[in-house]
Structure 1
């Protein structure tokens, strides 16, 4: 089957990089936000973070980052230093983030983790597995998970 010829259009340059500038990322994010607003009439995209600070240095040593948009809470990053794991802090961080997402009107949440990271932790917090995509190292996979925020009551 022949490959279709590109359609004529405005001249563009394509740049593949592993070091995009913050302004480049913002330009793409802002353009997608504008498109979403035009299509939905909803302008609710906001970052959401629960930060863990060292009490002595006030430096961030862990926590959760994500965003809320169009009724969904997206967990992007979540990490705790090993010495802070296993004592309920992670569950509390996730609970606070979910509560804030609910307060913003989100009815569901999504994330992905890796099989060697924390799928069992999320499952214990009421998250359900949507699917898995294999990744490196061999035998590992990215586990996509979701949670209903409006209906889930804990436990």
Structure 2
């Protein structure tokens, strides 16, 4: 695993166990992400026996040449669905592709037994878009990621 080396601050040294443990800090480690996801999937499956397992759900819209014009990625798990990322190319914004993405995602989430969808949008992204499509604000975290913006969380009943 790549990393920048052990953390050496005195506050960490006082509370960390002795060797053989090291604390590594890095920009990003895809292998670690995969391992954590696998480990959490195992724990979550055991804790939610009988519930539909977590599954990825993606929607793509491509033009006649196969070039991606819009996409959405998320997940379903039990009765919940979550949207992680939504993107529409600037060249086709305002043509209804975002609405098509949402409709296709919500339809498949219903098919999988979901009763609601969660999504997060920063105020400089698309909170109005989600509100226009029936999403209701459930949490607003002011000052994130900048002092003048907010992280807005939405939920929609399917």
Per the shorter chain, which TM-score range?
Answer: 0.7 to 0.9
RMSD value, Cα: 2.1
Alignment of 1:17 with 2:26, yes or no, is yes
Alignment of 1:70-81 (within 5 A): 70-81=78-89
Alignment of 1:138 with 2:144, yes or no, is no
Identify the match of residue 36 of structure 2 among 28, 31, 34: 28
Length, aligned pairs only? 144
C-alpha distance in 1 between matches for 2:42 and 2:18: 22
* TM-score when normalising by structure 1: 0.83
Identify the match of residue 53 of structure 1 among 62, 72, 85: 62
Which blocks of at least 5 consecutive residues in structure 2 are unaligned?
1-10
Does the Cα contact within 8 Å between 2:145 and 2:151 map onto a contact in 1?
no
Alignment of 1:119 with 2:119, yes or no, is no
| Aligned-residue offset at 1:70 | 2.4
Alignment of 1:76-95 (within 5 A): 76-95=84-103
Which blocks of at least 5 consecutive residues in structure 1 are unaligned?
150-155
Change (3 A) 1:9 1:65: farther
| Aligned-residue offset at 1:142 | 0.6
| Aligned-residue offset at 1:50 | 0.6
| Aligned-residue offset at 1:7 | 8.4
Does the Cα contact within 8 Å between 2:60 and 2:68 map onto a contact in 1?
yes
Match of 1:62, SS state, is strand
Change (3 A) 1:59 1:83: closer
